[in-house]
Amino acid sequence: MIEELIRLLGKDAVLFKKEDLLAYECDAYTLEKALPRAVVFPRNTEETAAVVRLLNRRKIPFIPRGAGTGLSGGATPRGGEVIISLARMNRLLSVDLPNRRAVIQPGYINLHLTQAVADQGYYYAPDPSSQQACTIGGNVGENAGGAHCLKYGVTTNHVLGLKVVLPDGEVTELGGLPDTPGYDLVGLFVGSEGTMGIVTEITVRLMKQPEGVRTVLALFDRVEDASEAVSDIIAAGILPAALEMMDALAIEAVEKGTFPVGYPEGVEAVLLVDVDGVEAGLEEQIRRIVEVCRKHRVREVRPAASEEERARWWANRKTAFGAVGTLSPDYLVQDGVIPRSRLPEVLARIAEIGKEKGVRIANVFHAGDGNLHPLILFDSRVPGETERAVQAGSAILKVCVDAGGSITGEHGVGLEKREEMKYLWTEEELEVQHAVREVFNPEDLCNPGKMLPRPARCAEVKRHSKDSASQQK
């Protein structure tokens, strides 16, 4: 097989020695690891399709991979798969400003797109905190979000069309028209975590830069006050571009990180709020945000005095996950969603879970969306601590579901949260999801074992959906 792969792609595009494969044994979710059989680097759709046809013929499972920054094990092998890295498919293919579109290859880095069109007054809205490293193909895989998705929506709201290599090697195009009649297959594909095929070209929406942006920083003595302010800002009819929150442990981390802000002692919660749009309305929005924060006993609240100050506040927030490494040798990032009005009680429950399980938990999150990121600190060298961290993560997701929320806001299910899918879906509902997947991926060769738990009646479902898949094809 390795010889055949080398014949298709050339020697410099195939890794198969153990020492080379080690770097691919997991993504940024590091609790589960296994070696792939090989890693290949196609350069275009044709090469990707040729590799997929070969692997399909030999019935060898394969995994699409972007930058490997995923936080739920979506690009992690279970052992023996071939990883199809899209890292060399990293070109901007075209920009069409009159129609506000760009076409890119999947390995193109998220931030590079905004940098490429910024001079002409445009940008690409979805901005995960990992945007300096993650690929737009990976963003499509996970339906990634980011700080500014509160106002502008997540990846699926910005993808207009896809070119896809299906798991049997057939190449197809989805969407791409101003409006596509029929089922929304682009919507189905975005967020499918690499389980329906490999995206090889993406048409995305470009946005015009807003006329003005202002950022407000609010410091609170109590987490409850900050979370109530979050709900009230939106209830007051203001839709900030971003509304982020950090609690005391997260503040301790960012202050030890690369971009300290110098937060005063004893602050229990920080809110970072962006408003953008037509210049004329911005000061009024800020005045109202300040008013709501004061109503909730804010200690200090003020807009950024300069562009440099604003950039520093954001750099401090965006590097928070990494900064948590200054507090603990290991940490687990969770990703639950709740209705934002339930923030105060859910944050209190998360703190209780930390105490019950004997682990510290920092919270850094997209508060406006109710998208929580509890960071569970542990030391894998201490016997039992990893298990307690995992249990705490699962318990937090249950609390989110019980509060009317979900087990993932943007990081996907991957390997990590397959069991927690059962908090949300019944066995029957999961069977339906399996059946949908198997229309595209009937032999389960494309990223097997990800996203969905195996339902008890799986064998029966599999047989049934294989029959219907071949009929549909």
Residues at the site binding ligand FAD, with contacts judged by CB under 6 A: 27-28, 63-71, 74-75, 86, 106, 128-130, 134-135, 137-139, 141-142, 144-146, 193-194, 198-199, 321-322, 410-411, 447
- Transcribe 299-351 into DSSP letters: SEEEE-SSHHHHHHHHHHHHTHHHHGGGT-SEEEE--EE--GGGHHHHHHHHH
**Least gap, CB of 19 to ligand FAD (angstroms):** 21
- Closer of 120 and 326 to ligand FAD (Cβ): 326
For the CA atoms of 317, 323, 77, 463, the dihedral, rounded to the nearest 10 degrees, stands at -40
Helix (H) or strand (E) holding 40: strand 38-40
**Least gap, CB of 450 to ligand FAD (angstroms):** 6
- Closer of 155 and 227 to ligand FAD (Cβ): 155
**Least gap, CB of 3 to ligand FAD (angstroms):** 25
**Least gap, CB of 128 to ligand FAD (angstroms):** 3
- Closer of 227 and 408 to ligand FAD (Cβ): 408
Instruction: Tally Cβ neighbours within 10 Å of residue 352.
Output: 11
At 261, the amino acid letter reads V
Question: Cβ contacts of residue 273 below 8 Å, gap of 6+?
Answer: 215, 216, 217, 218, 233, 240, 242, 243, 244, 289
**Least gap, CB of 39 to ligand FAD (angstroms):** 12
**Least gap, CB of 330 to ligand FAD (angstroms):** 14
- Closer of 62 and 378 to ligand FAD (Cβ): 62
- Closer of 77 and 442 to ligand FAD (Cβ): 77
- Closer of 303 and 412 to ligand FAD (Cβ): 412
3-class secondary structure per residue, 213-263: EEEEEEEECCHHHHHHHHHHHHHCCCCCCEEEEEEHHHHHHHHHCCCCCCC
**Least gap, CB of 225 to ligand FAD (angstroms):** 25
For residues 12 and 47, give the distance between their C-alpha atoms in angstroms, rounded to a whole number. 14
**Cβ(199)–Cβ(52) under 8 Å?**
no
**Cβ(250)–Cβ(362) under 8 Å?**
yes
Burial class (CB in 10 A: 0-12, 13-18, 19+), 81: buried
Distance between start and end Cα atoms, the chain: 28
For residues 391 and 55, give the distance between their C-alpha atoms in angstroms, rounded to a whole number. 37
**Least gap, CB of 288 to ligand FAD (angstroms):** 27
- Closer of 138 and 405 to ligand FAD (Cβ): 138
**Cβ(383)–Cβ(394) under 8 Å?**
no
- Closer of 20 and 300 to ligand FAD (Cβ): 20
